[in-house]
Amino acid sequence: MAPHARAGRAWLDVPFSDNAAARASGARYDPAARRWYAPAPGMAAFARWAPVPEILPGEDRGFGTGLFADPIPSTSWFTNVRSAVSPQDWDRLRGMVYRRAGHRCEACGARYDRDAGVFLEAHERFAYDEARGVQALRRLICLCTPCHATTHYGLTSKRGQGDQALTHLCAVTGMAEAEAIRHLEAAFALWQQRSQMQWELDLSILASAGVGIVRPAGSGANRAAWAQGRRQGSLAAARIRTRPDDSPAPRPRPVPTGSRPRPAGLGSRWQRWLTTGER
């Protein structure tokens, strides 16, 4: 039986910043499950750490499976889940995502490996309704550092790591390089189309699970400044890293610039995507 399924435990979702408070309240820690639990079910003192459901109301865990470039429209930059919930709720959500995935990447199966620079990170899968201008959260997925970097290919390329991401995309999906480049071209074209629109963020699957939502307004640039200031205010307490998605990818060994051709036929538009970097 998996540790998180151990009978008789009233499990709690305690963010790192609340560890001391949970201990002072009488919560106990199970090192095998890497999780806190209450001495008995139904104790009011632990209500604020009630577990997030493993399947969020309305969540589609079959949506957006596998590894693919998944750029966020520039008009929606920094409107990710992490920017829209409290640091404590973000810790609870990503902990739930890692647990239900068995602490493995849901794209390639990799496990956490600090020595190899492979971490587990939570990523959002959105559905875009162009008729209504709604960007709706459909799923949270557990990805490893290389898969997450590949998913955000534009931002990764801006950081000089596009070659590694392309290689990883081919290795995980089995695509030939030419096919992977065509995939990136299509992702860029879709990103450019969606970036012409303003999107209303729908996080109702989180609100339905009792997670409080803060909705940043304004342009992508204004939201970037808002999110950055909000993160800096919570770094010490929550140990949240300053990256717009989850934990930072360590810098891989550099690859010589220009060792791969850029996708043909997109010219300066492709270069703009790589220069600005999508989130």
* Sheet strands (E) in the chain: 10-12, 28-30, 35-38, 120-129, 134-144, 200-202
Closest C-alpha among 51, 14, 7, 3 to residue 36: 14
The letter for the amino acid at 265 is G
CB atoms within 10 A of CB 229: 9
Cα dihedral 159/165/167/173 (nearest 10) = -170
Residue position matching structure tokens 């963010």: 15
Predicted confidence at residue 46, as pLDDT, reads 93
Closest C-alpha among 90, 71, 89, 75 to residue 274: 71
Q: How many angstroms separate the CA atoms of 140 and 122, rounded?
A: 7
Predicted confidence at residue 246, as pLDDT, reads 41
Q: Where are the domains of the chain?
A: 8-49, 74-276
Q: Which residues of the chain have pLDDT under 70?
A: 1-7, 215-279
Predicted confidence at residue 8, as pLDDT, reads 74
Find all residues with CB under 8 Å of 85, minimum gap 6, and list them: 93, 206, 211, 212, 213, 214
Residue 98: C-alpha distances to residues 103, 121, 164 (Å) = 5, 8, 24
Single pTM value for the model? 0.76
Find all residues with CB under 8 Å of 67, minimum gap 6, and list them: 107, 108, 147, 150, 151, 169, 172, 173
Pairing of strands 134-144, 200-202: parallel
Based on the number of CB atoms within 10 Å of its own CB, is 126 exposed (0-12), middle (13-18) or buried (19 or more)?
A: buried
Question: Which runs of consecutive H residues, i.e. helices, occur in 195-241?
Answer: 204-207, 220-232, 235-238
Predicted confidence at residue 42, as pLDDT, reads 86
Predicted confidence at residue 266, as pLDDT, reads 45
Predicted confidence at residue 135, as pLDDT, reads 96
